[in-house]
Amino acid sequence: MSAFNPIEAIATKRDRQVLSGQQIRDFVAGVHDGSVADEQAAAFLMAVFLNGATETETIELTQAMIDSGQRQDLSAIVTEHGWRGLVDKHSTGGVGDKITLILTPLLASFGLAVPQLSGRGLGHTGGTLDKLEAIAGFQTRLSEKQYHEQLATVGGVICAAGSTLAPVDAKLYALRDVTGTVESIPLIAASIMSKKIAEGTDALMLDVKVGSGAFMKELNQATALAERMITIGTAAGVRTEALLTRMDIPLGLAIGNSLEVEESLQVLSGAGPQDVRDLTCALAQPLLEHYGIQHQAAENLDNGQAMKKFEELVAAQGGDLSQDRPLGKHRLEVTASASGTVKHIDALAVGQASWSLGAGRSRKEDPVQFGAGVQLLHQVGAEVSSGQPLAVLYTDTPERLEGASARLEKAFTIGEGPADPKPLILDHLTSGGAAR
């Protein structure tokens, strides 16, 4: 058998031809062991970015990335400890998206095991691990033994992925990040799904966000990404479905790490913003139904069971909810320039304001201010008067307030008459197409 030549694989995609499964597996293996040079990997990524990839190619790429590491088998934990199933959720990221903090303990409170591997924020979208680290003592890095033990006993764990899960994805993503090849549906789908499948879950719910504050700005793009990820998951034996959800306005009222923890605690207590509660339940309900759990998801938000499970999860990972979360030492109110109805709040502008206050990072290695962020005081549809506070900005670096304030003022659209209500959930997709 002739030796693998990465240039042939690059040329195949350059010329808009279809790669064989063996070519893809050999290329990914070469990236992993270093026999494929970074320049060659970058050229391959650009060829895929420009010319796309078929469903079969994307499935092969995902599987090759999984095979670069270990695929966990957590079935014994489910069987031995009486959990009803092994489930997970992934969001493509947005402004004010703290759903993982609520959904993980909610699902666990119904007897489902949730091995939630999460990441950090970059740019204007927040990261789940950053939010949780705003809780005093919370540990996001766990050993494999700790991870398994907590999943077995608590039923939920939220932590960083280990280096053994689809390790080649980290190499490819680093190259995508510096070569302008991030915005590629097959590459995004393979990146997300390789890690989710490798973690060993049986059922996966995707939250694919659409709008100014999301990675996918248009519904057709988001639909294509969701469909591709569902195809990949189904081919790997993972029950996969997706909600397409609005992200042209922020989710909830809190944007920033500590602020979002506080809002999550409100929702876990049966209160909090209705949109956050509604989306959490919409993501949970299909998973409950799949496992024959005859309850409405909202029940365990209202009866305290989800909060109890969150407290168990936090304690298991060293966190102390009794300690106050940090809040920026400097604050500034942004007020309404006119009277009327809040017609729109631009998610991107709010996310950028929070990021500029220190809640986000420009590079993966940058620190974040846990207490920085934006507390909105009104949602779309609220009636406000000129001079009335619309939001409060928090930061430890007061020189950031002026720029963030200018961004936030532009985020609000105030006008006469009622706001035009738009649905939070745009579509629900399964392997058979639209669910409803």
Return d(Cα 253, Cα 350) in angstroms, integer. 11
Q: Which of 13, 32, 89, 90 is catalytic?
A: 90
Give the residues across from 29 on adjacent strands.
none
Helix intervals (H) in 110-218: 128-132, 144-153, 167-179, 185-198
Can 169 be counted among the known catalytic residues? yes
Q: Which of 130, 169, 207, 275 is catalytic?
A: 169
Roughly what angle, to the nearest 10 degrees, separates helices 274-290 and 99-109?
A: 40
Q: Which of 13, 195, 239, 361 is catalytic?
A: 195
Can 163 be counted among the known catalytic residues? no
Residues with Cβ within 8 Å of residue 364, at least 6 apart in sequence: 120, 122
Return d(Cα 93, Cα 213) in angstroms, integer. 9
Sign of the alpha-carbon torsion through 9, 15, 21, 25: positive
Q: Which of 25, 84, 89, 176 is catalytic?
A: 176
Can 32 be counted among the known catalytic residues? no
Return d(Cα 294, Cα 61) in angstroms, integer. 38
Quick check: 245 and 89 in contact, CB under 8 A? no
| SS3 call for 36 | coil
Can 361 be counted among the known catalytic residues? no
Can 191 be counted among the known catalytic residues? yes
Q: Which of 191, 194, 212, 264 is catalytic?
A: 191
Residues annotated catalytic, as ranges: 90, 169, 176, 191, 195
